[in-house]
Chains A and B, each alone.
Chain A
Amino acid sequence: MLAYVIRRILILIPMALVISFLVYLGLELTPGDAVSHMISPEMMASISAERLDALRESLGLEQPFFVRYWIWLQGMLQGNFGYSTAGGVSIHTILSDRLPATLELSAVALLFSTIFGCVLGVISALKRGSTTDNVLTVTGMLGVSVPEFFFGLVAILIFALKLQWLPVGGRLLPGYDSYWDHVPHVIMPALVLSIMMTAGVMRYARSSMLDALSKEYIKTARSKGLPEWRVNLLHGFRVALTPVIVLIGFRLPVLIGGSVIIEQVYQWPGVGSEFISAVRSQDYPLVMMIALLSVMAVLTASLLVDILTALIDPRVRLDK
């Protein structure tokens, strides 16, 4: 198992290198002085021409392309992501500001959608053809097809404006910063964000569960005189879980990259809304870094999925 994990991580390294290389290539091709996105703007403004040349040299900008890439990559690994051209702030600072907000939203949404999606999907499969199943299936279809912003706006209208139970948006008011002060703010965006995913997980869990229940080993389990809950959960759901985990795993990067729409609707200060404003102000370095972050999230998620499926399914564990 350990060897398998190590091998999977080793495969990731060349992929990550290729992607970072492409991102660097993109950065080099962006208009403007290469120094400009590597040092802070204040420094840039107050610097003399000779100092700038000296700096160029010290940053290795006179070096051949691959050497420059190598220097840049080393900086990246130490958390030096360069500077945003629009705000002049270090990208490291921006991300360490924005990422926790997005992660907070995503974690809650992921938790909600995984639990509700699985429970509803399993109920739907066990009661196949019943009214419950039909209602859930139709609701699920709506959940998948109605755009997120619609749910977002409707929820704001009801829970924030009419009932005034929850705040309209934002993450925190100044002066409130204990963990529990986050809760009212995160509930609505997280629930709305999880609607679509819950629906997706539910549909997937249902079909995966039905598939598992049709298997011969379910009949074997019953023929041993096991109680129904054990047949359905230990034998059915346990097997049905693998594809569901894969699905959830592959949704992870979307959640880490931030839901652009939901963050906009709720003025949530996350990576998604930062990405939009970076695109608008043509802040290429920032756009590139967020893109790189998203791609890395995809790679990490696929690694996680593989490790989890191997943990869950003994057949995968041995095959590779």
Chain B
Amino acid sequence: MLPIQRSKGDAMNEHQDVALSVKNLKTFFYTNKRCNKAVNGVSFDIKKGKTLCIVGESGCGKSVTASTIMQLLPTLSRIEEGEITYHSEHGDIRIDQLERNGEKMRSIRGSEIAMIFQDPMTALNPVYTIGFQISESLKYHTDLSRSQYRTRAIELLRDMGISLPESRVDDYPHSYSGGMRQRAMIAMAMSCSPKILIADEPTTALDVTIQAQIFELMDKLKKEHGTAIMLITHDMGVVAELADEVAVMYMGNIVEAGTVDEVLRNPTHPYTRALLASIPVLGKGKNQNVEAIPGSTPDPYDRPKGCQFADRCAYRIAACDVMPDETQIGSTHRVMCWRHEEVGANAAE
């Protein structure tokens, strides 16, 4: 099994620790008069000082979920149903009911919930210096004066491990390396000490050693500032390293979710098992069976009518032509599969 050294989830006192909760969220896209149910009823909590990893293959709706929370959806899409509640220090805020680019939403973005993106190359504006782009956040969310922006930006860059921040602060993004740009992005995101940091595949565009450094930095921020992190990835190895909790997404649904122990040690959904079987495990040698998941994800406009995974599932039975219910199999562990008991039993072998 995977090398996991983590304490069991402290399930008791979790309620007051929730920073943001999502309930039965549905986000649909309307293009060419067709409807793509990109996020089709997901529920999860992001907890203070914890990392929630969202995993799944390309196109399963991870980014759309993140954009929905930030209300950064493109115009052709909308929240169809569901609740997004941000538990702020001054009471709960229903993000789904806020106007998209309205004042209230803008005051949350960047200051309460911040986001970093997959490709730091394109996520930073090429015509402004890093310092300017950090100071923009400070200008709108803090009481700092103009003259203090620079000092604060330098401080942030130094905290994020950028050397010579005093001169680097005046550089343009193109003179930064990929890893440094992502550090600068994180500096920007952390500039107003947000309660929640959403990271959408923050290291996919970077090479492996840099990847490890960025994750280390994020883990440090989580521990030092108690930031709640929602980390989107399609890499189960990253999940094993960083996650406190995991949600596995497939075609707009969370098919399995729970603490990292529960999901990785005791996967009860065939898709989770397939994902786990598809990653090589360090230290297990060359002869391990690494299996690619057979088949491919269905066309979002032509979905199976029952379980979305049915076409690729070895456990499929006739009942699977009906969408499976979400079953709670532990206080934190839930799964969407008719045969989760058999799958779970199988995994325990």
Interface, chain A (partner B; CB < 8 A) = 215-217, 219-228, 230, 235, 238-239, 312-315, 318
Q: Which of B70, B101, B111, B174 contacts A315 (CB 8 A)?
A: B174
Q: Does B213 reach chain A (CB closer than 8 Å)?
A: no
Residue of B nearest to A219 (CB): B72
Residues of A near B136 (CB, < 8 A) are 221, 224, 226, 230
> Are B127 and A215 in contact, CB atoms less than 8 angstroms apart?
no
A220 and B125 form a contact (CB under 8 A): yes
**Taking the complex as formed, is B124 at the interface, i.e. its CB lies under 8 A from any CB of chain A?**
yes
> 3 tightest CB-CB pairs across the interface, nearest first?
A225-B109, A225-B110, A224-B110
Task: Check if B115 is an interface residue, CB within 8 A of chain A.
Answer: yes
Closest chain B CB from A169 CB (angstroms): 44
The docked-state distance in angstroms from the alpha carbon of A312 to that of B123 is 19
Query: Does A222 contact B122, Cβ atoms closer than 8 Å?
Result: no
Complex CA distance for A217 and B72, rounded to whole angstroms:
12
Chain A residues near B109 (CB, 8 Å)? 222-225
Q: Is B55 an interface residue (CB 8 A)?
A: no
Could you tell me if B126 and A216 are in contact, using CB atoms closer than 8 angstroms?
A: no
Which positions 178-218 of chain B face chain A at CB distance < 8 Å?
Answer: 185, 188
Which residue of B108, B127, B174 contacts A225 across the interface (Cβ within 8 Å)? Answer: B108
Cβ–Cβ < 8 Å partners of A314 in chain B: 126-127, 172, 174
Q: How far is the CB of B109 from chain A (nearest CB, A)?
A: 4
Q: A221-B125, A223-B115 are in contact. List 5 more A-B contacts (CB 8 A).
A: A217-B123, A220-B185, A222-B101, A224-B110, A226-B140
Q: In chain B between 109 and 136, which residues have their CB closer than 8 angstroms to a CB of chain A?
A: 109-111, 114-115, 117, 119, 122-127, 136
In the complex the two chains form, is B137's CB within 8 Å of A224's CB? yes
CB closest residue in chain B, given A221: B125
Chain B nearest Cβ from A319, distance in angstroms: 9
Pairwise interchain contact B126-A239, C-beta atoms closer than 8 A = yes
Q: Please, how many angstroms separate the alpha-carbon atoms of A225 and B188 in the complex?
A: 12
Which of B101, B127, B185 lies in contact with A312, CB distance below 8 A? B127
**Counting CB contacts under 8 A, is B339 at the interface?**
no
Pick from A223, A230, A235, A238: contact of B70, CB below 8 A.
Answer: A223
- Asked if B107 is an interface residue, CB under 8 A from chain A, the answer is yes
B127 with A223: CB separation less than 8 A: no
A222 to B71, alpha carbons, bound, how many Å? 9
- Could you tell me if B119 and A216 are in contact, using CB atoms closer than 8 angstroms? yes
Q: Is the CB of B125 within 8 A of A217?
A: yes
| Chain A positions within 8 Å of B174 at CB level | 314-315, 318
B106 at the interface (CB under 8 A from A): yes
Residue among A222, A239, A313 making CB contact with B72, cutoff 8 Å: A222
Nearest-Cβ distance from residue A228 to partner chain B, whole angstroms: 5
B71 nearest in chain A by CB position: A222
Known contacts A216-B119, A315-B174; is-contact A225 B106 (Cβ 8 Å): yes
CB distance from B30 to the nearest CB of A (A): 13
Closest approach, in angstroms, between the C-beta of A313 and any C-beta of chain B?
Answer: 6
Which single member of B114, B117, B127 contacts A216 (CB below 8 Å)? Answer: B117
- A224 cross-chain contacts in B, Cβ below 8 A: 109-110, 114, 136-137, 140, 188
User: Would you list 8 pairs from A and B whose C-beta atoms are within 8 A, ordered by A residue?
Assistant: A217-B124, A222-B101, A223-B109, A224-B140, A225-B105, A225-B141, A314-B127, A318-B172
Residues of B close to A313: CB separation below 8 A: 126-127
Q: Chain A residues near B124: list those with CB within 8 A.
A: 217, 220
CB contacts (< 8 Å) of B72 on chain A: these are: 219, 222-223
Q: Could you say which residues of chain A place their CB within 8 Å of the CB of B188?
A: 220, 224
Q: Which partner residue on chain A sits nearest B115 by CB separation?
A: A223
Contacts of A225 in B (CB 8 A): 105-111, 137, 140-141
* Least CB distance, A154 to chain B, in whole angstroms: 39
